Amino acid sequence: MPVVGLGHTGLWVDDLEKMRDFYERVIGLTVTDSDDEQGMVFLSAQPGIEHHEFVLQRGRTAPAGSKLPHQISWRVDSVETLQMYHERFKAEGVPVQQEVTHGNAYGIYFFDPEGNRGEVYLRIDRPVPQPFRKSLHVEQPVDEIHAEAERPLNDGTPAYQPATWTPLPDSAGSSRRRAVLPAYRH
């Protein structure tokens, strides 16, 4: 299987400051980046090796007591493997939220059959402050993917391009998620 390991996971939270304190002070993780405007905190158990293994983001919408993961991210070994997932997700009808560059990674955000968000991603050896997220087209040749990922690093646009999605009923009447992607600008 082309997945080489679990890279990081995250949680939607109500009280970001309380959760940050718990994971930083009680669990012992190190804050590697944060963004108050986006309401995000990136934490790592080994910041010299992995920028973050855990993300907290303000925005929990489920009632207290509900279990709701932010995402589960699976590290892959190459751009070609990301492209394989792009094709597999398309063939299987897997809802894709966004294909992105984070500057320090390329990834594909997707939803599992029960609507949980996941990501397959390739780590890129480049220090880029987080959050950084811009659309990336992984169906093109590898050298063009790398060139496209380089352009937004210094293009002067906001570093974080959020993607949104809306639940759509499927033929069985249950909700499925469909990506509503922001316009991509070269």
What is the rounded distance in angstroms from the CA atom of residue 127 to the CA atom of residue 125?
A: 7
Among 53, 61, 45, 67, smallest CA distance to 10 is for 53
What whole-number percentage of the chain has pLDDT above 90? 54
The pLDDT value recorded for residue 74 is 86
- pLDDT of res. 164: 57
Q: Considering the chain, what is the average pLDDT of its residues? A: 84
State the pLDDT at residue 16.
94
Q: 28-42, 44-58, 79-93, 113-127 — which is least confidently predicted?
A: 113-127
4 has pLDDT over 90: no
The segment with the largest mean pLDDT, out of 2-16, 132-146, 153-167, is 132-146
Q: Is the pLDDT of residue 169 over 70?
A: no
